[in-house]
Structures are given as C-alpha cells and as structure tokens.
Amino acid sequence: MLPWVRLGTAKAPGGGELILSERAGEFVIRIDGRELMSSRVHGSEAAMAELGCHHLAPTQPAEVLVGGLGLGYTLRAALDRTGPLARVTVAEIVPAVVEWNRGPLAHLAGRPLDDPRAALELRDVGELIAGAHRRFSAILLDVDNGPAALTRPQNQRLYAQGGLGAIGRALTRDGVVVVWSASDDAPFAQRLQRHGFSVTIEHVPARGHGRSGPVHTLFVARPGRPRRQAR
C-alpha cells in the first residue's frame, strides 16, 4: 500500500495540529491523527446544499452562508445551486485551509473560491452569525464532526442554546439552516425544537446518492417562535 504524503500542517484554533495528506489522489485533513474530512467521502456535503438552497429561485439575490471551507465541496455545491445574483459567503477560521484550497486542493471542487459570487470571511462562523440579522437565506454548517463529536470544544457554543438563537436571528423569515453531523444526535434535535425550529432529519450516503458505505446525518431546520420554558 502506498504511504500517505504530508502536504501541509497548521495549528488548529484552541490547540492540536491539522495535517493535510495525499495518497493515490485521495486528500485527507486530520487533526491529531483523527480524520476530519476526505476527498473520497463528500456526498453529504452536496446534499447539504440541495436541502438548504432548494427554496431559492434562480433569479433571487439571496445570500448563503457556509460554515467551514473544508475541501471546498460544500461551497461548490452551494454555488451550483444558486443563481447569478446570489452571494455565497464561506467562513473559515484557519488560514492554512484557505491556502490549501487555493493550492493542492483547488482542483477537487473546481476552484470554488475563484467564483465571483463567493466571498471569504477568515473568521469564526459563530462570530459572523452573531453579528448578522435576517441576512442569510440559508446557513450550511459543517463545523467539526457535528454537534456532539467535537474535536474543538469551543465549537459547542455554536450548537448550544445561545448559538441556536443567533442562527435564528441571522436567517431570513423563510430561511433554512442545515447542520452536518457524523451521526445521529437526538439531544441536538430536541434543542432545535425547544428553540422554536421545525426540524427534519435526513440520513444521506457519505459517498453520494446510490452508493454504499457510511451514512451521515443532516438536521434541516426552519426558525419559528421559541417555546416558552415551563416554570
């Protein structure tokens, strides 16, 4: 078996080391030895954009937010599913990930950062969401390995009650948020519902439609009125 070739390293926010590796045309980003993403498994990233952007008309000047650049697949899918007047903002906190997407990873998703409709925010997606009000028609969150399988403890704030409230305020009235998760997470679905979101849960093949292998979970939520807490 061919060995992995290390292409780059970077410090992860909050500690740990990100490593970009390649073997026989497959690219993987790991943190402290744990796989975060692979070019071999990205079907669920495309499904995120399909579910989050299906309500947007081709002529609509909507703005979509992608949380986490990763290997570029979610950004590419969002651009492909929106029209010429749309704007797709991607928030990425690690500068090296942006450099990798403009370098050795650029060909994987067809250089989505070069699309004139794409806007890069080199910052934490939670901070960007907190400062937005009725700005985004869709928010696609592929941050860490999901609400429960965290490699960076700080990401918990995004999926807690305060973060969910900020997401609800950042969405337009008919907006949709889609949250990627490596596995099911019933407590997270319940938190969404307690905060007034209507939620559907989709299980999608990690390698794309019609392919066998692992399955990922997508939480598709639309904001409503928060439920009153019992006294």
Domain with 48, as residue range(s), is: 40-222
Q: pLDDT tens digits for 37-89?
A: 899 988 898 899 999 999 999 999 999 999 999 999 999 999 999 999 999 99
Domain assignment present for residue 84? The answer is yes
What are residue 133's phi and psi, to 5 degrees?
-140, 115
Domain assignment present for residue 195? The answer is yes
Burial (CB < 10 A; 0-12, 13-18, 19+), residue 106, is: middle
Number of domains in the chain: 1
Domain assignment present for residue 1? The answer is no
Q: What percentage of the chain has pLDDT greater than the value 70?
A: 90
Domain assignment present for residue 20? The answer is no
Question: What average pLDDT does the segment 105-113 reach?
Answer: 97
pLDDT exceeds cutoff 60 at 152: no
What are residue 38's phi and psi, to 5 degrees?
-140, 145
pLDDT exceeds cutoff 50 at 207: yes
Please state, in angstroms and rounded to a whole number, the distance separating the CA atoms of residues 222 and 122: 26
pLDDT number for residue 225: 55
Domain assignment present for residue 93? The answer is yes
Domain assignment present for residue 21? The answer is no
pLDDT-based confidence at residue 230 (cuts at 50, 70, 90): very low
pLDDT number for residue 157: 84
Between these two residues, 16 and 137, which has the higher pLDDT value? Answer: 137
Domain assignment present for residue 6? The answer is no
Q: What is the CATH number of the domain that holds 174?
A: 3.40.50.150
pLDDT-based confidence at residue 151 (cuts at 50, 70, 90): low
Q: What percentage of the chain has pLDDT greater than the value 90?
A: 72
pLDDT number for residue 93: 93
User: In terms of Cα–Cα distance, which of 201, 134, 191 is closest to 163?
Assistant: 191
- Measured N-to-C along each axis, helices 43-53 and 73-80 cross at an angle, to the nearest 10 degrees, of 40
pLDDT-based confidence at residue 34 (cuts at 50, 70, 90): confident
Strands 118-121 and 87-91: parallel
Domain assignment present for residue 30? The answer is no
